[in-house]
């Protein structure tokens, strides 16, 4: 699985530098989703990035005045489903089907509304993230 390169803005660079200073982990993946700042690190470094009892994440949250989350970078296409699941947590859904350039999320009516968001903001933000990092062009919610 190949993660596409993307352009980073100045704010993301500042967040990445702060993340590296506090956690001692270098990453190139930082984005905003659902009023949270999300850092993606290799799977084996997630617990180190979070810190003992969440100390690193709490410190970052206080400094940035945003909720901070750390997720694992998908290494194989099957991991993209888990990546999406952690992004839209705590919303529960039935299943995620990943095809070449398309993702289908099967969810109930209430979960569907939560995933889409008001004025389609969450689904558009999720689509931008998946397109930017994985080349996924289309998201379908059933």
In the predicted structure, residue 5 carries a pLDDT above the cut 70: no
Tokens (6 digits) for 73: 């970078």
Q: Hey, what domains does the chain have and what are their CATH numbers?
A: 10-72 (3.30.300.20), 79-141 (3.30.300.20)
Q: Does residue 106 surpass a pLDDT of 60?
A: yes
Which H or E element spans position 103? strand 102-106
Residue written as token pair 């970078």: 73
Phi, psi angle pair for 23, to nearest 5°: -95, -15
CA dist., res. 99 & res. 127, Å (int): 14
Residue 1: pLDDT band (50, 70, 90) is very low
φ/ψ (deg, to 5) at 137:
-95, -30
| pLDDT tens figures, 74-94 | 877 778 888 888 888 888 888
Q: Confidence class of residue 3 from pLDDT cuts 50, 70 and 90? A: low
Nearest CA to 133 out of 91, 68, 57, 77 is that of 77
pLDDT digit string (tens) for 31-73? 888 888 999 999 899 999 999 999 999 999 999 999 999 998 8
Helix (H, G, I), strand (E, B) or coil at 139: strand
Q: Which two tokens stand for residue 16?
A: 């990445």
9-31 pLDDT, tens per residue?
Answer: 788 889 999 999 999 999 888 88
Place of tokens 């982990």: 25
């Amino acid at each position: 699985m190949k993660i596409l390169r993307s352009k980073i803005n100045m704010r993301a660079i500042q967040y990445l530098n702060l993340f590296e200073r506090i956690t001692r982990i270098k990453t190139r993946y930082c984005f905003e989703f659902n009023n949270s700042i999300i850092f993606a690190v290799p799977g084996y470094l997630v617990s180190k990035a979070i810190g003992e009892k969440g100390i690193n994440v709490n410190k970052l949250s206080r400094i940035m005045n945003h909720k901070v989350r750390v997720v694992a970078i998908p290494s194989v296409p099957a991991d993209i489903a888990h990546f999406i699941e952690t992004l839209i947590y705590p919303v529960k859904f039935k299943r995620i089907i990943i095809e070449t350039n398309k993702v289908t999320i099967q969810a109930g009516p209430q979960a569907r509304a939560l995933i889409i968001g008001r004025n389609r903001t969450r689904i558009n933000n999720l689509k931008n993230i998946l397109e930017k990092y994985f080349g996924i062009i289309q998201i379908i919610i059933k």
